[in-house]
Amino acid sequence: MFLSERRLSWARQHFAFMHSSLRTKVILWFCLIVITVGVAGWLGFHHISEEIANEADLQMHDKLDHVIDLLKITDSTYSSLVRASMRVLKLEAHRIGPPSLRTVTGPDGKPRQDLFFGDEAMSGGFDLVDKVTSIMGGTATIFMKDGDRFVRITTNVLRPDGNRAVGTELDPHGKAIVRIRAGLPFFGVVNILGKPYITGYVPIRDAAKQTIGIYYVGYALDTLVSVQNSLQQHHILQSGFFALLDATDTVIFPPNGSRQAQIAQRLISGSAMPNWRVWRETFAPWNYEVMAAMYLPDIANVTFRMIWQASLMMGGVILAVLIVSFWMAGKLSVALEQAESAKEDAVHARDAAESANRTKSTFLANMSHELRTPMNAIIGYSEMLIEEAEDIGESSFVPDLQRIRGAGKHLLALINDVLDLSKIEAGKMTLFLEDFRLSEMINEVVGTIQPLLEKNANRLDVRMSDDLGDMRADLTKVRQTLFNLLSNASKFTEKGVITLAVDRVPTETNGDRIRFRVSDTGIGMTQEQLDRLFQAFTQADASTTRKYGGTGLGLVISRKFCEMMGGDIAVESRPNVGTTFTVDLPAEVHEFSEPVAEAQAAITNKTPAGKSKSVLVVDDDPDAADLMARALERSGFSTIRASRGPEAIDLAREKKPDAITLDVMMPGMDGWSVLSVLKNDPTTAKIPVVMVTMLQNRQLGYALGAADFLTKPVDAEKLRTVIAKHAGKPSAEVLVIEDDPANRDMLVRMLEKDGLTVSTAENGSAALEALAIRRPALILLDLMMPVMDGFEFLSVVNREPRLASIPIVVVTAKDLTSIDRERLDGSVQAIIQKGAIDRERLLREVCAMIAKSEKSR
């Protein structure tokens, strides 16, 4: 059955499975549907009932009419048939002979009358009538007049008992006899012996035109199939029927004995039949009535059946819908539950993540402590034992103890670095900003680095400009960075000079920056090594770890620290010459300071029209120009190149690039001059320019190994000190390179006064020629010179191993920067170190500048 156990349990399962609130809703919904259906059904029932009754009523008249029409057809058909049969009877009769009445003696001897056709007495046989009916069907009779009556002398009309109705007489009260007596034929429906017939009566006349008998043919109505059919043509719902009533309200049809006939009888008789409704209509030709009887409950039945069918269908649909709804609701609630549990999971996960985060912090904190404590014990106790061993004179233990201590310290350094790095990677490293005096911090660091310096017999030169002042930054991190760089410098240099130079550098828009430069004269690095430098766990070379110690993490951490503070570390190096690290930090560190990145993000490198932004790269060195151009192109800029000043100016005027990178050191027209021309020309003045130079502002010679510097006007005392420091012997030879004659003379006089031998050159190239002949103990170099300016001289000298070791004291104007600025109308955009070309940084600067100039347009 439909509700098999399996299906029930499935339904139960799903039902139970449903979300409780959803289940309630479904139940309520279901009840609502049922109630609605119920009410609608009930209302509908009545309405439909009425409708059906009305319809039935309308239809009833139609049907009645139709039945009557059919009966009319029957009537006309059989009327024709009756006349045809009559003709046949007459013909057959006349064939026998002319009709006459004769007196004959009967078998009992008495005289009686008989009708003769010809010489054949009719009462003798049935040949005539049977013959006719065998041809035409129906019945036939020959009547003989007997006084006032007409008697059937030969017939095949049957009595109720089944015998021929010979001897019966024509109904004396009927319609037929009236017309026969008038000498007229009769055609119509009459009752013969209680049964209705469609009949025809025609008088038989003898030779004297006297009516001596009647011809009769007739068809019994109730045998007429067509009548039956007509009446049964239409159904009246279930129990209703049509009936045929004669003039006396006798039920002709349905046939006697049938239940319907009984009902019809009762209906006619007017007995209480409340469930029946009756329509009657006269059928004139026979003077009959057609009755339609409708069983009223049928209507209800029909209505009910209709509604039942409709309901069944609807119910089926609803059931299907409900099943689907249940199923869907089941799924929904599963989904809901899953969503809820997923939400819970998410909440748990979030809580777990947060607690894991906290755990990570706690872990780092605990690990810090846990790892360092035993290390401290190892280091501390071994130190103590060293002291005690020395005290009691057992110095044989000391080396071993020192090894223990050394290993412990190394391990501790590793631990510290690893923990630092973990913290950084976990995003847990934070900045603690405070204000501090730079000179104090530097002195502190210098103090801590002393032992390392002594170990390799290195000398530390500290140069702090007077205007350093205070810095706001994470003191610990700055110190750690400086210490890291200084200890690296010391590690990789033997008996050399390490220079720490600190300067405050103002920038146009980003406030002051502090630059720390750590240079050494140590083993240096190849380009390959430089590339690997800032990667964790690779020292420049795997073997360097073993030889030089260290953890390999220091630079990575230092760089991260600098980046966190909004700065960076750059490096330049030459193998066997030395290395310089430059730390650039804001003088005032703010958290989350990345204005350049924002600028970069804010602009795209395409103009609105979709064309790439173009940059004019001006550099006489084809390799440098190449590098620059390629770096820019990789970032989506298009580049134009110029290798000389005049060319650059022409191209700038013609092509109007979106930015220009300008090398400072160029033969012929140097970068500064080009810049000045560009800025004075209104057509090119607005193009942002990036100055690219080997050296920065006032840091001048240090990157290239200048040993010291002096500012103009040169102070004699300072000069003496510096010379003494670097030249060594008081009678050493000094080469003065200075283009201005007055300055040159002054320097020469000052030096000669101190007993030094002085030679001079008025520009860089002259100096190089002089150097080819004689090697001075020291060079005094003015930077800003024509032909070959000081920068270029320095770079040339540095490439020559023979000359590179000569100490160079650079002389520069103290306010070089402001002179430049005045000269250039404050339009210097930025200066970037060319040597350690940091592509990213260059691009950032270019983008920032373009963005800035776009904003100001």
Partner 1 sequence: MIRVLLVEDNEMNRDMLSRRLARKGYDVLIAVDGQEGLDLAASGTPDIILMDMSLPVIDGWEATRRLKADPVLQGIPVIALTAHAMAGDREQALGAGCDDYDTKPIELPRLLEKIAAQLARVGKSVPAA
> Judged by CB under 8 A, which stretch of 163-171, 371-379, 588-596, 775-783 contacts partner 1?
371-379
Torsion angle (degrees, nearest 10) of CA 443, 445, 446, 449? 160
Q: Residue 457 to residues 495, 573, 673, 706: CA-CA distances in angstroms?
A: 5, 21, 45, 21
Residue 534, number of CB atoms within 10 A of its CB: 14
- Chain positions 459 to 488 lying near partner 1, rule: CB under 8 A, are 476, 480
Shortest distance, position 415 Cβ to partner 1, whole Å: 10
- Which of 255, 316, 380, 668 contacts partner 1 by CB under 8 A? 380
In whole angstroms, give the CA distance from residue 782 to residue 794: 10
User: Between 480 and 661, whose beta carbon lies closer to partner 1?
Assistant: 480
- 368 touching partner 1, by CB under 8 A: yes
φ, ψ (nearest 5 deg) of residue 172: -70, -15
Of 126-145, binders to partner 1 (CB under 8 A) are none
Q: Which parts of 186-205 interact with partner 1 (CB under 8 A)?
A: none
375 binds partner 1 (CB under 8 A): yes
User: How far, in Å, CA of 787 to CA of 792, rounded?
Assistant: 10
**Near partner 1 by CB under 8 A, which window of 132-140, 206-214, 382-390, 759-767?**
382-390
| Span of 112-120, 376-384, 599-607, 810-818 interacting with partner 1 by CB under 8 A | 376-384
Instruction: Please identify, among the stretches 20-28, 301-309, 317-325, 365-373, the one whose residues bind partner 1 according to the rule CB under 8 A.
Output: 365-373
Cα–Cα nearest to 500, from 435, 588, 582:
582
- Closer of 480 and 699 to partner 1 (Cβ): 480
Minimal distance, residue 453 CB to partner 1, in Å = 16
SS3 assignment, position 287: coil
CB of 419 to partner 1, least distance (A): 9
Chain CA centroid to CA 383, Å: 66
**For the residues of 242-254, what is the DSSP string, one character each?**
EEEE-TT--EEES
Shortest separation between residue 459's beta carbon and partner 1, angstroms: 22
In whole angstroms, the minimum distance from the beta carbon of 794 to partner 1 comes to 40
Q: For residues 521 and 461, is the Cβ–Cβ distance under 8 A? A: no
Of 293 and 385, the one with the shorter C-beta distance to partner 1 is 385
CB burial of 444-476 (b: ≥16 within 10 Å; e: otherwise) equals: ebbeebeebbeebebebeeebeeebeebebbbe
CB of 390 to partner 1, least distance (A): 11
Among residues 454 and 654, whose Cβ is nearest to partner 1? 454
C-alpha to C-alpha distance for 389 and 385, rounded to whole angstroms: 6
Helix (H, G, I), strand (E, B) or coil at 652: helix
Question: Which segment (109-117, 127-135, 374-382, 583-591) binds partner 1 by CB under 8 A?
Answer: 374-382
The smaller minimum CB distance to partner 1, of residues 360 and 844, is found at 360
383 binds partner 1 (CB under 8 A): yes
Site for partner 1 (CB under 8 A): which residue of 365, 426, 457, 819? Answer: 365
Query: Which CB sits closer to partner 1, 420 or 663?
Result: 420
The phi and psi torsions of 705 (rounded to 5 degrees) equal 95, 20
Contact between 847 and 600 (Cβ < 8 Å) = yes
Closest to partner 1 by CB, 408 or 835? 408
Decide if residue 59 touches partner 1 (CB under 8 A). no
Inter-residue contact 229 to 286 (CB < 8 Å): no
The mark string for 419-438 relative to partner 1 (x by CB under 8 A, - otherwise) is -x---------x-x-x----
**What's at 272, amino acid-wise?**
A
Q: What angle do CA 572, 577, 581 make, to 5 degrees?
A: 30
By beta-carbon proximity to partner 1, the closer residue of 474 and 520 is 474
Q: Which is nearer to partner 1, 172 or 380 (CB)?
A: 380
Quick one: how far is CA 180 from the chain centroid?
105
Nearer to partner 1, 371 or 837 (CB): 371
Nearest to 794 by CA among 706, 714, 724: 706
Binding residue (CB under 8 A) for partner 1 from 412, 536, 627, 813? 412
* Cα distance between residue 597 and residue 373, in whole Å: 42
Among 232, 376, 395, 818, binds partner 1 (CB under 8 A): 376
What phi, psi does 44 have (nearest 5°)? -60, -40
Listed residue (533, 521, 529) closest to 577, CA to CA: 521
Nearest-approach distance from CB 500 to partner 1, in angstroms: 21
Number of residues lying near partner 1 (CB under 8 A) = 24
| 442: DSSP letter | H
Half-sphere exposure of 550 (CA within 13 A, CB side): 29
Q: What's the min distance (Å) between Cβ of 377 and partner 1? A: 4
Q: Residue 481's closest CA among 363, 561, 402?
A: 561
Question: Pairing mode, if any, of strands 778-782 and 808-813?
Answer: parallel
Side chain identity at residue 677, one-letter code: V
CB of 414 to partner 1, least distance (A): 13
Cβ–Cβ < 8 Å for 708, 726? yes
Indicate the residue among 420 and 845 with the shorter CB distance to partner 1.
Answer: 420
Q: Is 76 in the site for partner 1 (CB under 8 A)?
A: no
CB-nearer residue toward partner 1: 416 or 499: 416
**In angstroms, rounded to a whole number, what is the distance separating the alpha carbons of residues 487 and 609?**
53
Residue pair 517/463 in contact by the 8 Å Cβ criterion: no
Stretch near partner 1 under the rule CB under 8 A, chosen from 17-25, 99-107, 238-246, 373-381? 373-381
The stretch among 384-392, 535-543, 565-573, 719-727 that binds partner 1 (CB under 8 A) is: 384-392
What stretch of H or E contains 470?
strand 470-474
Q: What single-letter amino acid sits at 580?
A: T
How far is 855 from 595, CA to CA, in rounded Å?
A: 14
| Nearest approach, Cβ of residue 402 and partner 1 (Å) | 15
**Residue 522 CB, nearest approach to partner 1 (Å):** 26
- CB nearer to partner 1: give 387 or 800: 387
Using the rule CB under 8 A, which residue among 28, 317, 384, 772 binds partner 1? 384
> What is the rounded distance in angstroms from the CA atom of residue 264 to the CA atom of residue 278?
9
Length of the chain: 857
Residue 377 binds partner 1, judged by CB under 8 A: yes
**Least spacing, CB of residue 423 vs partner 1, in Å:** 9
Distance CA 37, CA 507 (A): 85
Tell me if 395 contacts partner 1 by CB under 8 A.
no
CB of 395 to partner 1, least distance (A): 17
Binding site for partner 1 (CB under 8 A): 365, 368-369, 372-373, 375-377, 379-381, 383-384, 387-388, 391, 412, 416, 420, 430, 432, 434, 476, 480
